Amino acid sequence: MTTLKCVDDFRFRLGNKELVPIMIGGMGVDISTVELALEAARLGGVGHISDAMVPTVIDRHLKTHYTKDKLKQYKSNVTNLADKTTVKFHLGELEEATRLHVRRAMDSKRGDGLVFINCMEKLTMNAPRETIKVRLSAALDAGIDGITLAAGLHLGSFGMIEGHPRFRDAKLGIIVSSLRALQLFIRKNVRSKRLPDYVVVEGPLAGGHLGFGMDWADYDLASILAEIQAWLKAEQLDIPLIAAGGIFTGSDATVFLEAGAAAVQVATRFTVTRECGLPDPIKQEYYKANEDDIVVNTISPTGYPMRMIKSSPAIGAGTHPNCESFGYLLDANGRCAYIDAYNREVAAVAANPAGGKKIKVYDKTCLCTHMRDFDLWTCGHTTYRLKDTSVKQEDGNYALLSAEHVFHDYQFSKNNEIKLPG
């Protein structure tokens, strides 16, 4: 469908704010950097930092040693591949790291836009309730403009922070991929007498984890959005909806805005910007990927399908579990699906010494280690089109873009045109 309008003909009203209706989605672990989020805010939109593995991220940026200290404390447990129940996060340190991370963004914020943090419930951190409560509260303490609840139903998340002085002033939203998930969230959070300020409706073409099963291809964003819109109308609930997943051009975005979305959330096009946290050679992998290089699989121990480039080094790596350093996916009982898969392969190798010693695990991955090392190249479905957004240089690499260039291309382009770097 073509439209004569562009994104800039619309504004996203959020409380008393009027924003450019472009949100850059959270991309863990440190793929949506502070620098990227700040650019979105400077340009009048919304940027996200991520609260995934914050102590590790802060160690890299501020030379702190939360991760080293954790490993030191639990070193004796490293070879214990049966029981990780004792490997806990120190809540005071988690709070401190989250505050440092959020302040890095908020202290440098310029312009009329906002900086939010993406908070994933699936980071259960061997104490799901305690750790998420600390992460949410610390982000509010440190002055974050808003929190986008992600990767989970978050049925208890509002309740955990309803006593916080900023609970009613900060912008709080949730990502859903179905009407049912939104209905559950609203019903379970009725007690806190607060609706979400916005709802991101994420379709099956998004990057990262998907809120669908392996039948994701049977769904489409426009239909889910329309269903949620109709329900909100029937319930007389006025909550801005933000469309996400597969929105590649300004014209794609405009179609959703004309259909009643208040804004769009986009991510994939920003993975090849200079401000994105992926190392530059990996940005080239994103540029060069073809459609059949992009797969959705179930190797994430979270249980959600995840989309990625199929040459990601994480696939089949057989890494020794690093729960003593990381442990972000350990559930309430100190378990992670990757440990079980790894132990199975260790036992298989031991049972067949003639078959070689190398451990390879294909059905699950050590997500903490590989996301920290940028070895799991998660991406949106449209990644194969990134090469059309830049120019190939003499050395065969594509030119990196500025976040401002991509943001403005979304904001001003018409007729499905994509502005190439000048």
Ligand X SMILES: Cc1cc2nc3c(=O)[nH]c(=O)nc-3n(C[C@H](O)[C@H](O)[C@H](O)COP(=O)(O)O)c2cc1C
Secondary structure (DSSP) of 299-340: -STTSS-EEEETT-TTTT--PPP-TTT--TT--TTS--HHHH
125: helix, coil or strand?
coil
Sign of CA dihedral 391, 396, 402, 407: positive
Residues 224-253 as x/- pattern, contact with ligand X by CB under 6 A: --------------------xxxx------
- Encoded tokens for 275: 């401000």
In Å, the largest CA–CA distance within the chain is 69
List the interface residues with ligand X, window 206-225 (CB under 6 A): 206-208
* Contact residue for ligand X among 132, 266, 282, 406 (CB under 6 A): 266
In this complex, which beta carbon is closest to ligand X, that of residue 104 or of residue 342?
104
What are the φ and ψ backbone dihedral angles of 190, each rounded to 5 degrees? -55, -35
Residues 163-182 as x/- pattern, contact with ligand X by CB under 6 A: ------------x-------
What is the rounded distance in angstroms from the CA atom of residue 263 to the CA atom of residue 201?
10
What is the rounded distance in angstroms from the CA atom of residue 272 to the CA atom of residue 406?
9
* Contact residue for ligand X among 177, 300, 382, 413 (CB under 6 A): 382
CB of 27 to ligand X, least distance (A): 3
* Contact residue for ligand X among 35, 202, 275, 324 (CB under 6 A): 202
- # of chain residues touching ligand X (CB under 6 A): 30
Which residue intervals of 235-273 are DSSP H helices? 250-258
Told to check if 139 binds ligand X by CB under 6 A, we report no
Told to check if 339 binds ligand X by CB under 6 A, we report no
Told to check if 25 binds ligand X by CB under 6 A, we report yes
Told to check if 21 binds ligand X by CB under 6 A, we report no
What are the φ and ψ backbone dihedral angles of 318, each rounded to 5 degrees? 70, 30
- Encoded tokens for 112: 């009329």
Judged by CB under 6 A, the stretch of 9-17, 63-71, 160-168, 379-387 that binds ligand X is 379-387
CB of 206 to ligand X, least distance (A): 4
Q: Output b/e per residue, 53-88; b: 16+ Cβ within 10 A.
A: bbbbbbbeeeebebbeebbeebeebeeeeeebeebb
CB of 88 to ligand X, least distance (A): 23
Q: Is the peptide bond before 29 cis (omega within 30 degrees of 0)?
A: yes
CB of 288 to ligand X, least distance (A): 16
Paired residues of 23 in beta bridges = 46, 265
Judged by CB under 6 A, the stretch of 155-163, 191-199, 266-274, 393-401 that binds ligand X is 266-274
Residues 50-69 as x/- pattern, contact with ligand X by CB under 6 A: x-x-----------------
Binding site for ligand X (CB under 6 A): 25-28, 31, 50, 52, 118, 120, 150-151, 175, 202, 205-208, 244-247, 265-268, 271, 378-380, 382
